[in-house]
Amino acid sequence: MGNVIVIGSYVVDLMSRAPRLPKPGETVLGGPFQIGPGGKGGNQATAAARSGSNVTFVTKIGRDLFGQDAVEHFKKEQFNTHFVQIADEEATGAALIAVDINGENQIVIAPGACGTMTKQNVLEADAAIKEGDIVVLQLEISMGAVEAAVERAVLHNVPVLLNPAPYQAFPREILKHVTYATPNETEASNLTGVEVKNEASAQKAADILHQLGVKTVMITLGHKGVFLSERAFSGRVLPGFNVEAVDTTGAGDAFNGGFAHAITSGQSLEEAVRFGQAAAALSVTKNGTADSMPYAGEIMAFLSER
């Protein structure tokens, strides 16, 4: 059982379904409305914990009702919450999510408290990072916090998994310290300038990331699978699983959390990718984000049937 350190965002998800996603300036009637735990950090932490890992979550929430709900969720998922900061002035972050009948979504994020995380917040978790088997990062928190997390992980020789989402410009020097990078097609294109549209272009993008220092690149391709590339080896596509999607929100987070658990639990790289893919596939068959993350038993049963 691995020790997974997730340093990232927590936001409350405010979600409604609609027959279709609205065009600019348009109002579409939808419903029902749901409130639930979310944020890329929170989702990935939940996915890793439900997969079976010991999870330490480093984040920041507000001293409000949504923050209280967050604490209850963290307790339920049995996170180590010693490094969860509670802000007196900033509200808990929120994500406004619209989902259509095909499971596609539009999301607007107001980071709130987690957007004010600082280098000091990360340094306070140094002891946990030192004992971690992997540090999992996204780009939904301040760049200062991301850089500090990478710095401490490198100091303690702990592998870094970077999910560069939502994409924002960041210092490229970070990439030389990244063990695993997990962009989707759009994020890979933003990172490298290569439009990822097929296996050849995915390899070209992966090669650029390898040149920048990333050891293992996993470009997530939605239902098509994952393009897996290791330095000095040709990449390959690991096909995805066919499932009936209800809500694709959080699928990438399920993959990252599932993979982090599997790779720190002794599975091979390819096995860990398949485990992450199974977690993602199961997550899209349910509504919600953190609440849709599957448990270890569900994942193992799903894989055994395939």
* Per-residue pLDDT tens over the stretch 230-287: 998 889 999 999 999 888 889 999 999 999 999 999 999 999 999 999 999 999 999 8
CATH number at residue 37: 3.40.1190.20
Residue with tokens 């009936």, as numbered in its chain? 244
Q: How far is CA 282 from CA 245, 265, 275, 285, 305, in A?
A: 9, 20, 11, 5, 13
Does the annotation list 223 as a binding residue? yes
39 is in an annotated binding site: yes
Which one of the listed residues 69, 100, 253, 291 is annotated catalytic? Answer: 253
User: Does the annotation list 261 as a binding residue?
Assistant: no
Model confidence at 1: pLDDT above 80: no
In whole angstroms, what is the distance from residue 92 CA to residue 41 CA?
14
Cα 243-4-241 angle, rounded to 5 deg: 10
Q: What does the alpha-carbon distance between residue 214 and residue 150 come to, in Å, rounded to a whole number? A: 13
> Is 121 among the annotated ligand-binding positions?
no
Q: Which domain holds residue 238?
A: 3-304
Number of domains in the chain: 1
Please name the residues in contact with 198: beta carbons below 8 A apart, sequence gap of 6 or more.
Answer: none
253 is an active site residue = yes
Residue-wise pLDDT tens digits, 28-66: 998 889 999 999 999 999 999 999 999 999 999 999 999
Position 237 scores a pLDDT of: 96
- List of residues 6+ apart from 46 with CB closer than 8 A: 37, 73, 77, 257, 290, 293
